[in-house]
Structure formats: C-alpha cells, structure tokens
C-alpha cells in the first residue's frame, strides 16, 4: 500500500538533501519478496508522484538497492526507515550501499504499516480505529512473535506532526479557493485522481479538504468504516501535492458559515453518491443555491470499498504475507540478540 507512513519517510528523506527520487518496485518484485501488493504498480507510481515531497520517481526500481542503481540516477545516497527490509532469502536489501557509506536512515512512523492496515481490513471489527481495541495478533503477525516493525502500535497524533505535513501557506489574492469534503479513507488512487482534477479547475487553485469525523463517516457509510481514524486521514490528505489545507472534523453540510469563513469560490464533489444529512437534507444545498457547486468526473471509479474487497478476496494470501514477514523480522531480531549476548560473553 501507499500510506502516510511512507509519506512521512519521504518527507524526512527530502529534508536530508535537495532533490528526492523515489524508486517504486513492480508488482512482480513485491510479490516475490513480500507477498501480494494491495495497489497495482501503475496505481503506486501515480500515488507516489502525488506525494508533495517527491521530485521524481523511478518506475520498476530493483528491490535490492545497489551502488549501480544510485550512480545510474546520480544519487549521492539513499534513505530508508529504521525498520528492516529483507529479500525473499532474508538478506538486507541495503547491505551494499551501507558498506559504501551511502545509506542514511530516517525514523519509521509508529502506529502504521501495510501489515497493520491489511489486518484492519481483514478483521473489520466495529472498533478497529478506537484507542482501546485489542488486536488479534495471530491474524496480523502470526502466533510466534511480535516484531516492532510490523506489529501494531497505537498512532498518536501531535500538533508537530500536522505542522510537518501542512504547507503553511495561506490563500493569496487571485487564488481560487476550492472546497471538497469527504472521508478520504485509505487514501488511494481514486482520491488522487479526483483531487488532481479538482486542482485543474482553476489557474491558481487553493484546495481545502474537509474531513468528516469518524462517527460521521460511520453514519453515512455504515459497515465498519472508516478504516483509518481522523488523525490518520488528516496526514494522508495533507501529504498530497494537490491539497493546500485540511479542515479536521468538517461539518457534513457545506453551509453558509463554512463558505463565508473560508471565502470559498467553488465547491466540488465527485461522482460517488451524496448521502443526505441527518435531517434528510442535501448537504450541498447552499453551494448549489449560490451557483458555485460543480460535479467532477475524474474518470476513476475506485472506492475504499473496492480496496477492502481486494483484501477480502485474497484473504489467505494476505494472512500468509503478514505471518511470513513477521517471521523473517523476528529471525533477524533473535540473531541480533544472540550476537549481543556473545559479545557480552567475550567481554
């Protein structure tokens, strides 16, 4: 998957240099070394391009990063998180560049991983995004261990995280202020295509995304949505290069107060169903009355339901993926502990 943890890694990597190139693996490479991908390679190429700290991407990047790869793209060094990444044979994919001193590390974002998100979709419990949920580790990680990298930990939002992701730019005279609202759950290529199309509606767009609280999303979407909580969805949307600002916990109805406060020039909505408000009224009645409502067809019909369905249809493969990845990481941890113990014994 592509999630805000990846975006945070790319943000940190960009801060270490001047120009950031992100290498994205093919489906075949991911399937070989990690298990089935959730998004296709074409979807991932476009999603990574849409992350605002990325200057360029390399399609079909090799899973093992070599000095040849860095030199080919004129890179001084490469960056990865402080978790481990292993080949199908259990080897460190950055071994060569580490030996050459052309490797740097950034901090992994606690509380999220592809394994974690896949687990949420497999379980789909009513309280999967609450702070008191008890996870089934046999489903997520396998019964024999708990890796600090793929194991589940609670995501804790702070004001600093939001500041790091936010653009910090206010609308300027001449900007067209565009407002869109929704859940933007499991931020995916359907959202990216929609926001890109919204961005193209004006010469100087300033796009504000209103995110609904978890309870509101659950009211109109039902089932066990949202998969991601409001804090996670905030970072996911802020990382997109087409977004200027986010309203956290926006009202469901786009009313007079909101439009006047942000001086909104245009309100957009995609081709997905517009659910009525609690009183059965149209949440876009006011912008329609003002003549500033516009329906946008991005040409992409992918929804969060479709992403969940991909996981459900391949449940056994994804359960096996999670357990296999956990086992490999636990083996590395046990090896490190053994080496430390031997070192202490020698001393």
Each residue's pLDDT tens digit, 4-35: 999 999 999 999 999 999 999 999 998 888 77
How far is residue 19's CA from residue 54's CA, in Å, rounded to a whole number? 8
Q: Which domains does the chain have, with CATH numbers?
A: 4-106 (3.40.50.620), 114-127+145-295 (3.40.50.620)
Does the pLDDT of residue 330 top 80, yes or no?
Answer: no
User: pTM to 2 decimals?
Assistant: 0.83
Binning pLDDT at 50, 70 and 90, where does residue 128 land? low
Comparing 78-82, 183-187, 194-198, 341-345, which segment has the lowest mean pLDDT?
Answer: 341-345
**Torsion angle of alpha carbons 225, 231, 233, 236, nearest 10°?**
-150
* Whole-number pLDDT of residue 125: 56
pLDDT of residue 149: 41
Bigger pLDDT: 237 or 130? Answer: 237
Q: Tell which residue, 252, 227, 4, 50, has the closest CA to residue 22.
A: 50
Q: What's residue 124's pLDDT?
A: 66
- pLDDT averaged over every residue in the chain: 86
**Which pLDDT band, with edges at 50, 70 and 90, does 137 fall under?**
very low
Q: What b/e sequence results for 230-259 when a residue is b if at least 16 CB atoms lie within 10 Å of its CB, and e otherwise?
A: bbbbbbbbbbbbbbbbbbbebbbbbeeebb
Q: How far apart are CA 128 and CA 229, in angstroms?
A: 9
In the predicted model, what is the mean pLDDT of residues 192-196?
A: 98
Paired sense of beta strands 266-269 and 176-182, if any: parallel
């Amino acid at each position: 998957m592509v999630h805000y943890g990846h975006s945070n890694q790319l943000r940190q990597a960009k801060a270490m240099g001047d120009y950031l190139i992100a290498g994205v693996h093919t489906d075949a490479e991911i399937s070989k070394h990690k298990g089935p991908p959730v998004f296709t390679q074409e979807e991932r190429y476009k999603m990574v391009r849409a992350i605002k700290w990325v200057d360029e991407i390399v399609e079909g990047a090799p899973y093992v990063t070599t000095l040849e790869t860095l030199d080919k793209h004129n890179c001084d060094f490469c960056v990865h998180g402080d978790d481990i990444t292993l080949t199908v044979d259990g080897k460190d994919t950055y071994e060569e560049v580490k030996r050459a001193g052309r490797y740097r590390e950034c901090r992994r974002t606690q509380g999220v991983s592809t394994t974690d998100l896949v687990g949420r979709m497999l379980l789909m419990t009513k309280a999967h995004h609450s702070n008191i949920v008890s996870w089934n580790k046999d489903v997520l990680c396998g019964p024999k261990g708990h890796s600090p990298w793929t194991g589940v930990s609670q995501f804790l939002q702070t004001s600093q995280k939001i500041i790091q992701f936010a653009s910090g730019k206010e609308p300027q005279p001449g900007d067209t202020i565009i407002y869109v609202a929704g859940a933007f759950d499991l931020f995916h290529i359907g959202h990216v295509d929609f926001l890109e199309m919204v961005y193209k509606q004006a010469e100087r767009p300033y796009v504000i995304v209103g995110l609904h609280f978890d309870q509101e999303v659950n009211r109109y979407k039902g089932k066990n949505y949202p998969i991601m909580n409001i804090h996670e969805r905030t970072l996911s949307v802020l990382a997109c290069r087409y977004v200027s600002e986010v309203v956290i916990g926006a009202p469901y109805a786009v009313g007079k107060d909101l439009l006047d406060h942000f001086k909104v020039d245009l309100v957009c909505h995609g081709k997905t169903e517009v659910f009525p408000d609690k009183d059965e009224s149209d949440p876009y009645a006011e912008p329609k009355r003002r003549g500033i409502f516009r329906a946008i067809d991005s040409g992409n019909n992918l929804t969060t339901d479709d992403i969940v369905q991909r996981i459900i249809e391949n449940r056994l493969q994804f359960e096996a993926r999670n357990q296999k990845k956990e086992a490999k990481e636990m083996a590395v941890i046990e090896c490190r502990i053994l080496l430390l113990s031997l070192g202490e014994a020698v001393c």
